[in-house]
Chains A and B, each alone.
Chain A
């Protein structure tokens, strides 16, 4: 195939024979590339944040929430028809409301959600939230061995609260520390045998536990305050003394346990909270004082999604029903679908619509993205704003290219006349300049995409470098608290369609803009009178 000659000349003017590249082309291409790179990277990061928020949000509130259109419409029979739906892989009902929590003089009025202990972890990653909220006490002579609580601990007298509520009330869940005082066996190096705590239920009482190795297979367990004492076999591995006591787990190391070894543990009971509900006020009005309900703090939860109620208490559905004086009915259901379906917003929306149809629109089914639509609109707005800000940057590049090509037309005016005299069509001569814009745009776009991929690849190194320069070495921690650059998943174009679209659209934008920039010089060149051009100085 023969290269059309305008393309040939356009290429040669950018990359002249006997020289690798003209200075102008290099500047122009690098300019376009940098612009494309910046635009792609900014949007890729924004998409990364969006993705992160999205996955946090999807997890935080279930994939969809089903609520009755009027409160009288709620009845239990929806559950059976929901269960028949193949798409739904988890259902759990909830009861919600507002409660007043009190610990001594401290009060909090968090949003309260009652969950089904058996099924709530199917729809909400509560164990994950508990793990996030679990904090470890720091001490030089003790080690916090408290295991992260799980939803297994959830029962009618136990609640999980958010960190804000815990701080406001000054309460904490149960904890257990291993004391590392002298003469006692501490945590030795990794090879030694250890005795850890497998479970610590919310009803543990405070106390001091001493575990002493008696022989090769015998261990004595003693609680100092209650003076309880028993001997168990080491070989059993787990020492479960029943509810209300810590469950110890013996982890053998490569060195054997020796008789006389002593392990000492300090146990702290979980705080109790007094709970008042609006229904109690109703009773109080009719002079029926009812005592506050007492619950234990089973764990602290932290939901990664900031839009979630920051002050929240989670209890059992039954607890909430009692609190609200509302028997055997749910305020709604959390639904869970497959991850794939949950992320496919179009499909999920249509399924939700379909579900609504089953109960002749007596229920609404709200998918996660509708529930948090305000937030996604905000993110979208931010992204559009960014694009809007960046488009002028692209146009600046276009102007630069247009000016450079225009100068080139002026400089080459006699050459243009000669080309026509030698038999070139004038439109084709114009094409030379338009094609130069196209070539610059295309090469710049490719280079820019390449740069963007490199940038995304080394984003962690780049970010930590930048943050370190600005905030100093200590600043890293502070910055990453708010902007989670390090764990941010930024997709390469081959990983997600959104990223591909991002790359393609900015590349296309650059190519189009540079080509358009070449149009004016091209038009100028095509309109030249060849005789005048030949005569010009």
Chain B
């Protein structure tokens, strides 16, 4: 997974160079990621598979700059960020418009209605207005949960919650969506529906996607597939 000489780093939405990450507990130390190089172009989708505990979630956290690497760099839209340094305030403020996140557990805010949950990332950018509200409703409609917009998340089913989470991840037109086993808590059929909606929306909105999944079927549905093994990412 190396970019050609002709391709500059600017042409990638997301790119990493030599990401290393190890965890230590007590005096034992395990190296989870051992020089991960990853590229992602605009509108591309990349699936990552790997054994449980191989470091997929850790990799996503590094990409989102939620965790510090031992060494290596992450490039957000061609901009080099030192992965082993604390994110700057600029990065933090950029995160809301650059990234969308979806997790296995849906993490909706229980005190907010569905619509308010979707609009929440928007508030971080301080731009809630009627167009945004309309955008949120459109997304909910696309996800098929518009009728639940004034419900609180506690009254939704798992599949419905994950649809809301997808809408929330997309609200700010992010460049990249990081999805960590988004269907992990759902049954086969619901999982399939949700995955279809996710992939389809990413295509429609030209959003790049990194999809961590155990399901080979979903892994094949993305434009590129890779496997994380022994601390390195290998395209298949």
Name A's B-contacting residues (CB within 8 A): 2, 4-5, 8-9, 12-13, 16-19, 22, 414-415, 417-418, 420-426, 529-531, 534-535
The answer on a CB contact under 8 Å between A12 and B124 is no
Which of B43-51, B107-115, B201-209 touches A? B107-115
A418-B101, A425-B92 known; A17 vs B116 contact (CB < 8 Å): yes
A contact face: mostly helix, strand, loop, or mixed = helix
The answer on a CB contact under 8 Å between A423 and B66 is no
The answer on a CB contact under 8 Å between A12 and B103 is no
A18-B113, A418-B107, A535-B57 known; A530 vs B66 contact (CB < 8 Å): yes
Residues from chain B with Cβ under 8 Å of A13 in the complex: 111
From B58, B61, B121, B128, A423 is in contact (CB under 8 Å) with B121
Q: Could you tell me which residues of chain B, from 83 to 121, have a CB within 8 Å of some CB in chain A? A: 89, 92-97, 99, 101, 103, 105, 107, 109-113, 116, 120-121
Bound complex: CA of A421 vs CA of B95, how far in Å? 8
From B67, B89, B112, A12 is in contact (CB under 8 Å) with B112
From A2, A17, A534, B113 is in contact (CB under 8 Å) with A17
Name B's A-contacting residues (CB within 8 A): 57-58, 61, 64, 66-67, 89, 92-97, 99, 101, 103, 105, 107, 109-113, 116, 120-121, 123-126, 128, 150-152, 168, 172
Best-buried of A16, A415, A422 by chain B (most CB within 10 Å): A422
The answer on a CB contact under 8 Å between A422 and B103 is no
A415-B107, A418-B107, A531-B67 known; A423 vs B99 contact (CB < 8 Å): yes
Bound complex: CA of A534 vs CA of B107, how far in Å? 9
A423-B95, A423-B121 known; A16 vs B111 contact (CB < 8 Å): yes
The answer on a CB contact under 8 Å between B89 and A17 is no
The answer on a CB contact under 8 Å between A422 and B111 is no
Q: How far is the CB of B163 from chain A (nearest CB, A)?
A: 17
The answer on a CB contact under 8 Å between A415 and B64 is no
Bound complex: CA of A179 vs CA of B149, how far in Å? 90
Bound complex: CA of A2 vs CA of B93, how far in Å? 18
The answer on a CB contact under 8 Å between B124 and A424 is yes
Residues from chain A with Cβ under 8 Å of B111 in the complex: 12-13, 16-17, 22
Residues from chain A with Cβ under 8 Å of B112 in the complex: 12, 16-17
Residues from chain B with Cβ under 8 Å of A17 in the complex: 111-113, 116, 150, 152
Q: How far is the CB of B194 from chain A (nearest CB, A)?
A: 18
Bound complex: CA of A73 vs CA of B121, how far in Å? 86
Given contacts A17-B150, A424-B124, 9 further A-B contacts (CB under 8 A): A2-B128, A5-B126, A12-B116, A17-B112, A18-B113, A18-B150, A420-B66, A421-B64, A530-B61
Question: 22 A–B contact pairs at CB < 8 A?
Answer: A5-B120, A5-B123, A5-B124, A8-B123, A12-B112, A12-B116, A13-B111, A16-B110, A16-B111, A17-B111, A17-B112, A17-B113, A17-B152, A19-B152, A415-B109, A421-B64, A421-B95, A422-B95, A422-B96, A422-B168, A423-B92, A423-B172
Q: How far is the CB of A420 from chain B (nearest CB, A)?
A: 7
Q: Which residue of A lies closest to B150 (CB)?
A: A18
Q: How far is the CB of B108 from chain A (nearest CB, A)?
A: 9
Closest 3 CB pairs of A and B: A423-B96, A16-B111, A5-B123
Q: How far is the CB of B187 from chain A (nearest CB, A)?
A: 23
A5-B124, A17-B152, A534-B61 known; A414 vs B105 contact (CB < 8 Å): yes
Q: How far is the CB of A421 from chain B (nearest CB, A)?
A: 5
Q: How far is the CB of A425 from chain B (nearest CB, A)?
A: 5
